Amino acid sequence: MNANDNTGTLAERARSQDVEHVGPVLDGELIDDTLPQPRRKKVRRRFAQWWQHSPRVPRALKSKAQAVQAAKDAAAAVLKSPWRYLGSVMRGVVVGVRWWRNWVTVRDYRAAAEESEKLADKFTEIRELTLFRWKVTGAVLAVVTLAVAVVHLVYGADPLWIAGAVTSAALAILGRRKDGSPGRKPALAGPRTLTWTMDPQVLVDAFRDAKLIGKDETLRLVERATRIGDGWAITVDLPATRKAADVVKNRDALASALAVDEVQLIVERVRGNGGHAGRVSMWVADEDPYGGPPLRTPLLSVTRWDAWRPVPFGRDARDRRIDLPLVWTSLLVGAIPRQGKTFAARLAAAGLILDAWVRLYVADFKAGKDWDAAGQVAHRFMAGDETKHVLALKDWLVELVAEVQGRYRRMRDLDDLTCPESKVTPEMSRDKALDMPVTAIFIDEVQVPLEDRTPLVVQGKKLTVGEYIGELLTWLAKKGPAAGIVLVLATQRPDSKTIPSGLRAVLGSRFALRVMDWRDSNIVLGEQMNTRGYDSSRLLPSHKGVGILRPDGDTAAGADVLAMTVRTYYMPNEDWQTICQQGRALREAAGTLTGHAAGQDTRPTLDHAAVARALGASGPVASPAAPIQLPEPLASVADYLGEDLDEGGREFVPTAELVEALNFEPTAFGRQMGDFGCRPERFRVPGEGGRMRQIRGYATAEIRAAVEAIGDARGLDDDP
């Protein structure tokens, strides 16, 4: 019976009966004295990993492809070896000749004499030593020539060939190239970011190549190279008198010496108790830390946020989360168009939106739809770039100045337990009875209102609306933070003509995305920041949303860090709308939805008297918009007197007081006031000891009559 027949028979038997008796069933356990199968696999896998990653195993033995490539390289090396050997011998001859020339000319002795400024004193000795070494050279050549002739006569040419081969081998060793670099100076091919972690001397050479330390100076390792994130970190102490600030300033030179892009190198001075002026912390990334895909904002995963906590803003090169403090400070964002300026400002707004107790003012002078979703939560909101929008912003700021003044007055009346300092506290900001919520005003494209040239009457003087808005913003940036006012300005034109220097000087936090040159970067970040190593004009165009942050407060990088490069979180419009919708729901639940978001677009309450009191000491103050413009100096006198000019106020004002307060020339002032019908008179007033004395001045009734007369005359002229 063949195999096929036997198989068919077994199959038929299996089909013909369901159960077949196979004999007794035995119960037992298989014992294997070898390693269990899972453990053997684990050991094999570990060995394979060690084999693939160990530097002790040659690359040619790690894979077939590498073995084939190694064989090709070996064949090419054999074919090229004669020419490489000849080249090494020739370089060895050059090196030997250079060494002999330095020796025979007493180069080391001469250099030492020059450094000690004693070359003239040592000239005779150097000359004698040079002549002696020339004589030694001649004697050696004569002896060698004689020895060659004798050996050739006695033993023939074979010993000379052997000596020549040995000499050529010595010259080839002397003139060999090192590490594939041209010339004789050893250099590493490719980046040194991994090499200096094993050999710190490479890092010392890099500092010397960058001219950050001298040739005879070295570094002291405070901490050995350690792996942090996707890079290596190390802390070193510079030689005495060398400053860490110079290393930070010349970061690009050090990056060039390490053969990495400067965005991969983070250099910081170590401050505080554990640092000093010569201690440097370095971190070198394996690759471009900003080349990966952007990360979504973590605020999407929270239901609410506390405005008193720093807002998640982005991540630095080490992938540390950078949070931006906003309360008790202000923020300026500057960049050229399409670099993520609006996205950065909206990130700052997102955390405040998710706090139901924050009151928002949003002015979008881009006139787009980037901020439209904020209208759901904003107490005041507008989008446009016309003059009426600029004038509306002016009214907002006037309202906020009066609000700040009112808060300070109310804080003076609170006990020390409720208000321990002249600052708004978290408890105060959430107390509806006190009405002091954190109030944030966001102005996108702030250069539009600041450059507006619409004329405005300011205490009888002509100012533009832009100048007046600049004064109001400056005052709010100075006095507003302690009262709970957060000012966030964004501009695509960071130049000195657009942003007044007085306003820039009082803005606490700065964020500069890519700009055109270092001047614009300094305008956003602060004067001479480029000399400290922070220049946003050197950011790559491909790095969208990457900028230099100069925070006003503590961050994950430390409280003593001057500035850092940050890649902001990514928050597209759909995420922005989601956050705004969540913010509206929170405000509806808390009962804090007001103003524009609640459908109550009322006009701001304008208290020009409060603004006059607030801005009087710091700059020009806009008087209430009056249809009549008074001539000088009558306008200045009327604005100075204010309510005292009304009936029931002061009866007279001394001439000396007006001249001193308004800084007028006395003779010209008297003549000009006389033209308006105001003549100085002598008034009797009580002096020291109760005695009456005479003071020359103007009756307020005459000044009031002159103002009304000019008003009546202008009104008649304006009648049709």
pLDDT of residue 656: 82
Shared domain for 368 and 474, answered yes or no, is yes
pLDDT of residue 36: 53
User: In one letter, which amino acid is 78?
Assistant: V
Shared domain for 392 and 463, answered yes or no, is yes
Q: How far apart are CA 8 and CA 5, in angstroms?
A: 5
> Is position 460 within any domain?
yes
Q: Is the per-residue pLDDT at 377 higher than 60?
A: yes
Q: Is the per-residue pLDDT at 192 higher than 60?
A: no
Q: How far apart are CA 578 and CA 566, in angstroms?
A: 24
Per-residue pLDDT tens for 628-651? 567 777 777 887 777 667 655 677
What is the tally of structural domains in the chain?
Answer: 4
pLDDT of residue 180: 37
Give yes or no for a contact between 394 and 469, defined as CB atoms under 8 angstroms apart.
yes
With bands split at pLDDT 50, 70 and 90, how would you rate the model's confidence at 3? Answer: very low
Per-residue pLDDT tens for 304-339? 999 999 999 998 888 888 999 998 889 999 888 888
> Residue 229 to residues 205, 336, 570, 652: CA-CA distances in angstroms?
25, 31, 21, 76
Shared domain for 448 and 371, answered yes or no, is yes
Shared domain for 304 and 281, answered yes or no, is no
Shared domain for 330 and 472, answered yes or no, is yes
> Is position 253 within any domain?
yes
Shared domain for 258 and 370, answered yes or no, is no
Per-residue pLDDT tens for 542-569? 878 899 998 886 665 555 677 888 999 9
Report pTM: 0.59
Q: Which residues contact 668 (CB under 8 A, 6 or more apart)?
A: none
Question: Which of residues 127, 143, 174 is at a domain's end?
Answer: 174
Average pLDDT of 86-111?
82
pLDDT of residue 540: 82
Q: Is the per-residue pLDDT at 91 higher than 50?
A: yes
Give yes or no for a contact between 545 and 295, defined as CB atoms under 8 angstroms apart.
no
With bands split at pLDDT 50, 70 and 90, how would you rate the model's confidence at 698? Answer: confident
Residue 520, SS3 per DSSP? helix
Q: How far apart are CA 567 and CA 322, in angstroms?
A: 9
Q: Which of 316-330, 376-390, 589-603, 701-715 has the lowest mean pLDDT?
A: 701-715
Shared domain for 132 and 207, answered yes or no, is no
Burial of 416 (0-12, 13-18, 19+ CB in 10 A): exposed
> Is position 617 within any domain?
no
> Is position 16 within any domain?
no
Q: Which residues contact 485 (CB under 8 A, 6 or more apart)?
A: 400, 404, 439, 440, 441, 476
| Rg, C-alpha atoms of the chain | 42
Shared domain for 240 and 317, answered yes or no, is no
The CATH code of the domain that includes 222 is 3.30.980
> Is position 612 within any domain?
no
Question: Which of residues 285, 319, 348 is at a domain's end?
Answer: 285
Q: Is the per-residue pLDDT at 378 higher than 90?
A: yes
pLDDT of residue 436: 92
Give yes or no for a contact between 623 and 457, defined as CB atoms under 8 angstroms apart.
yes
- The parent domain of residue 87 ranges over 65-174
> Higher-confidence residue: 290 or 460?
290
Average pLDDT of 443-454?
90
> Is position 548 within any domain?
yes
Q: How far apart are CA 352 and CA 441, in angstroms?
A: 11
Q: Is the per-residue pLDDT at 489 higher than 90?
A: yes
Shared domain for 271 and 319, answered yes or no, is no
With bands split at pLDDT 50, 70 and 90, how would you rate the model's confidence at 443? Answer: very high
Q: How far apart are CA 640 and CA 632, in angstroms?
A: 12
pLDDT of residue 719: 39
Q: Is the per-residue pLDDT at 405 higher than 70?
A: yes
The CATH code of the domain that includes 431 is 3.40.50.300
Q: How far apart are CA 7 and CA 596, in angstroms?
A: 90
Per-residue pLDDT tens for 20-56? 454 555 555 544 454 455 667 767 777 776 776 666 7
Shared domain for 353 and 267, answered yes or no, is no
Q: Is the per-residue pLDDT at 500 higher than 50?
A: yes
Q: How far apart are CA 211 and CA 97, in angstroms?
A: 30
CA atoms within 13 A on the CB side of 426: 6
Where is mean pLDDT largest: 144-158, 311-325, 350-364?
350-364
Shared domain for 578 and 522, answered yes or no, is yes
With bands split at pLDDT 50, 70 and 90, how would you rate the model's confidence at 161? Answer: confident
> Is position 57 within any domain?
no
> Residue 606 to residues 330, 400, 402, 446: CA-CA distances in angstroms?
24, 9, 8, 22
Per-residue pLDDT tens for 511-543? 999 888 888 888 888 877 877 778 888 888 887
Per-residue pLDDT tens for 263-310? 888 888 887 777 888 898 888 888 888 877 888 899 988 999 999 999
Residue 302, SS3 per DSSP? coil
Question: Which of residues 285, 313, 344 is at a domain's end?
Answer: 285
Q: How far apart are CA 66 and CA 63, in angstroms?
A: 5
Q: How far apart are CA 502 and CA 208, in angstroms?
A: 42
**For helices 64-104 and 158-174, what crossing angle results, to 10°?**
100
Q: Is the per-residue pLDDT at 361 higher than 90?
A: yes
* Tally: H helices and E strands in the chain: 23, 19
Shared domain for 116 and 226, answered yes or no, is no
User: In one letter, which amino acid is 293?
Assistant: P
> Is position 59 within any domain?
no
